[in-house]
Amino acid sequence: MWFDGLMKTKNNNNTVSNIQNIEIVHTSLQKIAEGIWVYIIGTLIGTILGFAGRVIVIRYMSQSEYGLFSLALVVMNIFITISTLGLMEGVARYIAFFRGKNEEGKIRNVIYSSIKISLIASIFFTSLIFITSDFISTNIFNISDLSTPLKIFSIGIPFTVLINILISVFRGFDKVAPKVYFLDVARTAVFILLLGGIIFIGLSYINMLYCYLFSIVISSIFCVIYSIKKLPALAFTIKEKIQSNHIGKKLLLFSLPLLAVSTLYLIINWSDTLMLGYYKTPEIVGLYNGAVPLAQLIPLFLLSANFIFVPIVSGLYSKKLISEIGRTYQILTKWIFLLTIPIGLVFILFPEVILDFLFGANYIQAAPALRILSFGFIFNIFLGLNSTSLIVMGRTKFIMYTTLIGAILNVALNIALIPFFGIIGAALASLVAYWITNILNSLKLYKISKIHPFTKNYIKTIIISIVLLSIIYFSSFYINIDFWTLCIILIIFLLFYGFLLLIIKCIDEEDLRLLLTLEKKSGLNLGPIKKILTRFL
């Protein structure tokens, strides 16, 4: 009797524990879904505005001028990344981690240290670029006309770094909106407004560069004013300042490998552009950079999830809830893959149509590069938030090593392929780097935590996607496809895609919880959809 009673008690405890674990996963997914909802809307608005600005720039600049604009922007972004010292991920992670442990004093120290350190670094690198812009232009790129754009863009480095750090602080408090306000919408909207004024009065392309700089400065001023009102007051005692020095060192030790990772990813992302500038002409650089921003739309949902995944999961990790992190990882990966496939369909199967519609017939030559780059980004989606999970678990050095391997491969392949294959060689180099880096990170994540994305329903989703894409690809040989025909094909694909997902029962219980969150945040009545999904669980 006593044994039966003991077993019943244990079973009850296990049931309660399982219910608690399920609720933790649901709560985490709900918070992530709410953040993704805000992030995606803001990013879509920012992307639309950004593309509008990009189209205006491409239309009113020559290919050579656009090439100079792109090269200067690459150099600026490299030094912005270096100036943040890897603190963007570290700040969000540590604030969320200390929130999980209710250590408010350490949170204030993280904020104070990150702002101080990043501003000192960014001012230093701004001065360095401004002084050496002539040397960089003539001795590295052999393009003397690049000097002026470099000087103009270098002034924007401290302002951009400040925006990034403040956004990371808000991110640590699970706040997504400031990123949308100041990095996506405000900066791009101001840029377009200034461009409109410049074009209206007919000034030179140099003035377009100043438009970009002023959009950064104005956005940073708005961001600082907002942060002063919304962030906790930084009222430090002497003791707290001493503690902030200790936290600052700890934060730097955690973040510096992430600086290396960010720098290496910049090499992977931008060495193709830089080496095309070295081996080829500004016209080729401009052509390639018609494909790159399109391909970078593919990880939109992955980046959205990543932004809010770090603070939410860091809180779980501070409580050692590994299984809950794993389940959250699996559900998110499936949803990210589902949402990304339509974009992949368009860019992988019909890149010529998209490039012609957006940029004109001259950019159709970039179609093979767009297709290859899209394959590289789709693979990132396929494996999920592996590197982000490793950051949460403190494995920043390992990520640094795998990214180093990817960067070395990327540079070596660029050197080998670009002279012979041009933009196709550059795209292939990036694809290999993305694939190798992600495979290594996924293997490490599984080894230390047994976390992986491959549930039964996820595998079924992948198979359905491959079958449908294959059918559309072979059918396209018999149809003359323009942009509007492509829109109809996409609608038909989505209908069949959703139907097959239901019939083959790829729906999880957590999917319904995410749908409830979407219904709540959007104000839409999704009752009929919920009833249908419930039948196919």
- Between 256 and 114, the higher pLDDT residue: 114
pLDDT of residue 405: 92
pLDDT level of residue 532 (50, 70, 90 thresholds): low
CA separation for the pair 29, 313 (Å, rounded): 10
Mean pLDDT computed over 70-81: 84
- Could you tell me which residues come within 8 angstroms of residue 323 by beta carbon, excluding any fewer than 6 positions away? 21
CB atoms within 10 A of CB 6: 10
Contact 81, 73 (CB under 8 A): no
Other C-beta atoms lying within 10 Å of the C-beta of residue 208: 22
Q: What is the pLDDT of residue 242?
A: 43
**Does residue 149 contact residue 13 with C-beta atoms inside 8 Å?**
no
Q: Which of the two residues, 27 and 15, has the higher pLDDT score?
A: 27
- Residue type for position 290: G
Q: What is the DSSP letter of 186?
A: I
Per the rule left: phi > 0, alpha: psi between -120 and 50, beta: everything else, 87 is alpha
Alpha-helix runs per DSSP H in 202-237: 205-230
Point out the least confidently predicted range of 7-21, 184-198, 236-250.
7-21
- The answer to whether residue 174 scores a pLDDT higher than 60 is yes
Nearest to 424 by CA among 379, 368, 356, 365: 368
Confidence tier at 536 by pLDDT (50, 70, 90): low
Rounded distance between C-alpha atoms, residue 133 and residue 149, angstroms: 9
What is the pLDDT, as a whole number, of residue 317?
Answer: 79
Residue 366: how many other CB atoms lie within 10 Å: 26
- pTM: predicted TM-score of the whole model, two decimal places: 0.70
Domain ranges of the chain: 31-454
Q: What is the average pLDDT value for the chain, to the nearest integer? A: 79
Q: Based on the number of CB atoms within 10 Å of its own CB, is 279 exposed (0-12), middle (13-18) or buried (19 or more)?
A: middle
- Per-residue pLDDT of 182-197, as tens digits, reads 888 888 888 888 887 7
State the pLDDT at residue 332: 83
Q: What percent of the chain has pLDDT over 70?
A: 84
Distance set, CA 43 to CA 35, 331, 337 (Å): 12, 22, 18
Residues 6+ apart with CB under 8 A from 256: 85, 86
Lowest mean pLDDT: which of 168-172, 246-250, 470-474?
246-250
What is the DSSP code string of 486-535? HHHHHHHHHHHHHHHHHHTT---HHHHHHHHHHHHHH----HHHHHHHHH
Separation of alpha carbons 181 and 226, rounded Å:
10
pLDDT at 240: 47
In this structure, what token pair is assigned to residue 165? 């750090």
pLDDT in tens, 260-314: 887 787 777 778 888 888 788 777 888 888 888 888 888 878 877 777 777 777 7
List Cα–Cα distances, 263 to 27, 121, 155, 223, 253, in angstroms: 34, 15, 20, 25, 16
Q: Which helix (H) or strand (E) holds 118?
A: helix 104-135
Length of the chain: 537
Q: What pLDDT score does 217 carry?
A: 92
Banded model confidence at residue 118, pLDDT cuts 50, 70, 90: confident
**How confident is the model at residue 372, as a pLDDT?**
92
Spatial contact of 211 and 195, defined as CB atoms under 8 Å apart: yes
Bigger pLDDT: 238 or 389?
389
Given a cut of 80, is residue 408 above it in pLDDT? yes
Report how far residue 87's alpha carbon sits from residue 252's, in angstroms, rounded to the nearest whole number.
7
Give the other-Cβ count within 10 Å of 222's Cβ: 15
Task: Answer whether 298's CB lies under 8 Å from 381's CB.
Answer: yes
In this prediction, residue 439 carries a pLDDT of 93
Bigger pLDDT: 466 or 198?
466
Cα distance between residue 156 and residue 163, in whole Å: 11
pLDDT band at 21 (very low <50, low <70, confident <90, very high): low
Q: What is the pLDDT of residue 7?
A: 39
